[in-house]
A and B are shown apart, each in its own frame.
Chain A
Amino acid sequence: MTRAERAAVHLLALALALLIGGAAASALTAVERTGTAPLLALSLPSAAGLASTLLTCGLLSGLLGGGLLIALDDCPAWRLSPAQIGAMRLWWAAALASPAAWLLDLPFASALTVWVGIAALILTALVPSALRRGLAVWRAGMALAGIGLLLPALLAAILPGDVFTALIGGVIADGLRVSIGIPVAAVALMFWLMHRFSTVTPVWAARGTRTCGGLIALAGAWLTLPGLAAFGAPNWMRTLIGVGGFIPPLAWAVVAAHTYAALVRSGMTTARTTHWTALAALLFLLGGLTGGLRALPEFAAWTAPALSNTLMMWGAAAVMIGALNQTSAAFGGRAARGGALAPFWLVTGGVLIAVWALSMAYAAQTALALGAGVGLAGSAGLIAPLRSLALVGWMAAVFGVSWFGVGFWRRPPAALIEAEQE
C-alpha cells in the first residue's frame, strides 16, 4: 500500500469519525428542539452550527479521499510530494479545528471555515491530473464547494459595507457548497464506485459522470434560486423558477436511473457498496424532489427549507461510506464485507424517519398557522411527538454510522495494517 493510498483511506476514516460526530450533533439539535432539555440548550447553544460544520468537514474529507482514490486508480504509480503531504496536514488541522471551535463555542469558529475552504482548494488542486474523465467533474465539484466556503469571507473583504451583496452572496455560497459542489463531487465518486462494483464499462461510467454532473450542477442552481427570489425577484423570474421546478427531480431521476443500471450489473461483489450507492441515489432523489417543490409557489410554504439540504448532505454521506466500504474490500480480505447490513438499515431507516418527521412537523405547523391561526408557540406542543420521532431517527442514524465505524476500525484493511507495521 503506497503512502497516497494510505492517505486516501485515512481521509475516509477521518470523514467517518466526523460524520459520526455530525450525526450525534444533529441528534443533540433534535433534543434541543423538543424543549425537554433546557440545560443542554444553554450548555451547547450552537448544536445546529456544530452539526453543519461536522457534516461539511466530514463530507469534504470523504470526497477528498474519494478523489485521491479516483486519481490513484488512473495513475497507480503516483507518489505524494512534500507539497501534497503538507496540504494533507493542513486539511487535517482545518477539518479538526473547525468543529472543535464550534464545540467550544469559540467566537472565531466561523472564521475557521475560511481555512477549511482554503485547505480543501489546495488539496483539490494538488491531486494530479489524470486521464480519467470523472476526475475533472470531481475537481469542479470540490472547487465549487471550496469557493462556497470562502465566498462570504471574500465578499466581506471586498465589499465590507454592502449588506445585500453579503446576504445574496451567502445564499449563493450555500448553493455552491450544498446544492452544487458537494453533490457534483459525490456523483463523480458515485460513478467511479459503479465502475468498481459493477460490470459497467469505464466509457459508460465516464459518460454518465459528465452528463449527470452537468445536470446536477444545473439542478443545484435551480435549488438555489428560491433563496435568491426572497430578495425581491420580479414576477417573470418567479414564474421561470416555478416552471423550472421539474429540473432538480428530473436531474436526480437521471442519476437514479444510471445507478439502477449499474446495480443490476453488480455481479458477485461481496462489499456493501451497492447498498450505500442505492441509498445515496434515493436520498439525492428525495432531496431533488423536495428542493423542486420549494421552487413552486403552491408548495413553497409547505416544504421545510432545510429538508432538501439535509437529504443532499446525507446522500453524499452515503456515497462516502460506500467508498470506504469499497476501499476496505479492495485493500484487504479481513474487512472485505466492510460491515454487516445492520448499520446500513439503521442509517437508512434513521435518516428517512428523521427527515419525514421533520417535514411533517413543518407541514403541521404551517397547516395550523394557515388553517387554525395557531402560532408557533401554540403548535410547539402539538408537534412534540414528531420532534421526538425525528430524535429517534437521528439516534438510529448515529448508532448505525457508529456501528459501521466500529466495524471499520476493528478490522481496518489488511494492507493498511501491513503498511503501518513496516
Chain B
Amino acid sequence: MRSVFTSLLALALMVLIAAALIVHPRAELSAQASLGFAVWRAQGCAGCHALFDAGGGVASDLAGVTRRRTIENIRAALRDPALPPHHAGLTVSEIDDLIALFRWLDAQPLSARPTPTALAFAAAVASTGAPPTAALTPAERGRAEFSRAPGNCASCHSLAPDVVIVGPSLAGIASRAAERVPGQTAAVYLRNAILYPSDYLVPGYADLMAKNLGAALTVDQVDDLVAFLLTLE
C-alpha cells in the first residue's frame, strides 16, 4: 500500500512540473522591466494584485493594465496617497520601473490571451447589445454613458442646478472644475475625480463614490464622460 501513496504523489508532482514547463513562456526581460520586477517583489505588490490570475485576489489583475489605462493614469494611481501605504512609498524611479514592467508584460503574446477570471467581464464589453456609437461625438457618447451602466453616474449626480441626489449636482461643473485643484486643468480634474474620487472631496460631501470606476470603465468611456462633463458650463 505504501507504493500507492508514493506513486500517486509522484504522479501529481510530475503533472504539475510538466504543466509548468509546457506553459512557461520564454521571453527576455528588458533591463528596466527587470528593475520593475524587483520593485514588484520588494513592495509585495502580489499580496494584493494578481498577474494573469496568479497571486493577489484582493486588488485588480494588472495583466493588460497598460491597455486599459493610460500611462498617466497608472502613474497617478501609483502616487495616490489614498491607496494602500505601499503605493505612497514608491519613488519616481520605482514607478517608472514598474510601468516598464507592465508595458513589457503587455507586449508579450501571452498577454493577449484571456485569463479565466477576466473572461466573463471582457466578454461583457463585446456583448452589451448597445447600439453603434461610432457616429456620435465623444460628448454625445459621454451623455449616454452618464446614465447607464457601468458608471450609472446619474443615479447619484443630478444635472439640474442645486439638486442633490447623493453626490453634488454637476450642473456647471465645466466652469468650476479648473478651480478645484491648483495646477489641474478642468479635464485633468474631471478625469481624476472619476478614477480617484477620494483625491478631492467637495466640501460638505462624504467619500461615498465608487472607487472601482477605473476598472469598470474603459479608457474611451472615461474620455467620453470627461468630454460630456466639459460641456456642462
Contact = CB atoms under 8 A, between A and B. Distances in A.
A168 B212 contact: no
Contacts of A380: 210, 212
Contacts of A306: 57
Contacts of A215: 8
A230 B5 contact: no
A366 B120 contact: yes
A217 B8 contact: yes
A12 to B, nearest CB: 25
A253 interface: no
Given A220-B12, A228-B20, A228-B23, A373 B29 contact: no
A374 B150 contact: yes
Given A107-B44, A107-B86, A221 B12 contact: yes
A283 interface: no
B187 interface: no
Nearest to A251: B8
Contacts of A225: 15-16, 19
B9 A231 contact: no
Contacts of A110: 44, 47
Contact of A161 (B29, B110, B129): B29
B193 interface: no
A377 B23 contact: no
A294 B121 contact: no
Nearest to A152: B46
B1 A301 contact: no
Contacts of A156: 41
Contacts of A231: 23-25, 52, 54, 110
Given A167-B54, A211-B4, A226 B13 contact: no
A227 interface: yes
B22 interface: yes
B119 A300 contact: yes
Interface stretch (B70-78, B167-175, B213-221): B213-221
Nearest to B121: A369
Indicate the size class of the contact surface on chain A: 35 or more
Nearest to A203: B1
A62 B150 CA distance: 45
Interface in B189-233: 207-208, 210, 212-213, 215-217
Contact of A211 (B5, B52, B128): B5
B47 A168 contact: no
Contacts of A169: 20
Nearest to A47: B58
A1 interface: no
A141 B232 CA distance: 63
A369 B120 contact: yes
Contact of B216 (A105, A168, A211, A376): A376
A301 B121 CA distance: 9
B160 interface: no
A385 interface: no
Chain B binding surface, main DSSP class:
helix
B116 A160 contact: no
B124 A369 contact: yes
Nearest to B60: A376
A218 B8 contact: yes
B113 interface: yes
Contacts of B138: none
A193 B114 CA distance: 44
**Interface size bucket, B side?**
35 or more
Contacts of B11: 218, 221
A213 B207 CA distance: 51
Contacts of A232: 23, 25, 109-110, 113
Nearest to B53: A230
Contacts of A375: 121, 124, 149-150, 216-217
A47 B124 CA distance: 30
Nearest to A367: B120
Interface in A349-374: 366, 369-370, 372-374
A210 B23 contact: no
Contacts of B51: 167
Given A46-B47, A136-B2, A162-B29, A373 B7 contact: no
Contacts of B129: 373
B124 A373 contact: yes
Interface in B4-57: 4-9, 11-13, 15-16, 19-20, 22-25, 27, 29, 33-34, 37-38, 41, 43-44, 46-48, 51-55, 57
A406 interface: no
Given A110-B44, A221-B13, A232-B110, A376 B121 contact: yes
B152 interface: yes
B117 interface: yes
B130 interface: yes
B142 interface: no
B24 A168 contact: yes
8 contacts: A170-B55, A207-B1, A221-B15, A228-B23, A230-B52, A231-B25, A373-B127, A377-B213
Interface of B: 1-2, 4-9, 11-13, 15-16, 19-20, 22-25, 27, 29, 33-34, 37-38, 41, 43-44, 46-48, 51-55, 57-58, 82, 84-86, 89, 101, 105, 109-110, 113, 115-117, 119-121, 123-125, 127-130, 149-152, 207-208, 210, 212-213, 215-217
Ranked nearest first, the 10 interchain pairs of A and B with the lowest CB-CB distance are A375-B150, A214-B8, A373-B128, A378-B149, A369-B124, A377-B216, A221-B12, A375-B216, A210-B5, A301-B120
Given A110-B47, A370-B120, 12 more contacts: A46-B58, A136-B2, A140-B9, A163-B37, A168-B54, A206-B1, A211-B1, A221-B15, A226-B116, A230-B53, A231-B23, A373-B130
